[in-house]
Structure 1
Amino acid sequence: MTDLNNIVLNALDDLKAKDVVRLEVAELTDVMDTLIVASGTSNRHVKSLANNVAMEAKKAGIMPLGVEGEGPGEWVLVDFGDTVVHVMTPATRSFYDLEKLWSQAPKSRLDQAQDDGSPAE
């Protein structure tokens, strides 16, 4: 996992993101290598999570290429090029179901035990 992905995952964990999933999509698209999806408990929480991701990356000298959706806060996308972060409310996440859309990608759910009972990555 790249340093950026560690920064993103730590920034999400710092503010208690829910249901964080990392999808490795490099073999499915030329647009990005990693897709990180997380949920916030409210619009305010979604905006705070996305802002924390951008701020922590900036502290490490990594500038996002763009941030979209901060106004409504139901779905905020932070684009770093090779890594794209989607932070959504649970209802928005359920409606768009990005994990199913990218279901061919190897997935790691980072906040739950794996199916075999071993700790998550």
Structure 2
Amino acid sequence: MQAEELKNLVVTALEDVKAKDISVIDVRDRTSVTDYMVLASGTSNRHVKSLADSVLSEARDQGVRTGSVEGGAVSDWILVDLGDVVVHVMMPATREFYDLERLWRDAPDLGVAGQE
């Protein structure tokens, strides 16, 4: 699956479980680690876990090899590494504290949904 398709699959999986403030950052010209970073917020620790689970489930259903998952059921931040797309699902306070959007501010922000 191409990075663009994987990014769209991730965004759809997050939207299906009512993620808040989805943001897609194009980091292709900034790092060789991944092509896109997708950030989303959940309303509770359980919601954060559900969002990450939705991404993993949809990716596996499409035959995408899933990499590591950092964080857990009671975490404020879960990272899902899908290779070309890295997904950060966080509680709003955690997202505000780490402010990854600011860290990558020189990279193109593809908007709320990031789908073209």
Q: Same fold (TM over 0.5)?
A: yes
Corresponding position: 1:25 with 2:27: yes
Alignment gaps of 5+ in structure 1: 112-119
Q: Could you tell me the TM-score, scaled by structure 2's length? A: 0.92
Structure with higher RCO (Cα < 8 A, 6+ apart): 2
State the distance in 1 between where 2:22 and 2:106 align: 18
Which residue of structure 1 lines up, in the alignment, with residue 84 of structure 2? 82
Q: How many residues align?
A: 113
State the distance in 2 between where 1:70 and 1:64 align: 16
Moved over 3 A (4+): none
CA-to-partner distance for each residue in 1:69-118, whole Å, 9 max, x for gaps?
0243200000011110000000000000000000011002325xxxxxxx
Which residue of structure 2 lines up, in the alignment, with residue 115 of structure 1? none
Amino acid at match of 1:105: A
Q: Higher mean Cα deviation, 68-77 or 27-36?
A: 68-77
Q: Could you tell me the TM-score, scaled by structure 1's length? A: 0.88
Amino acid at match of 2:75: G
State the distance in 2 between where 1:68 and 1:103 align: 24
Identity of aligned residues (%): 52
Whose Rg is larger?
Answer: 1
Q: How far did residue 46 of structure 1 move?
A: 0.3
Tell me the C-alpha RMSD between the 2 structures: 1.4
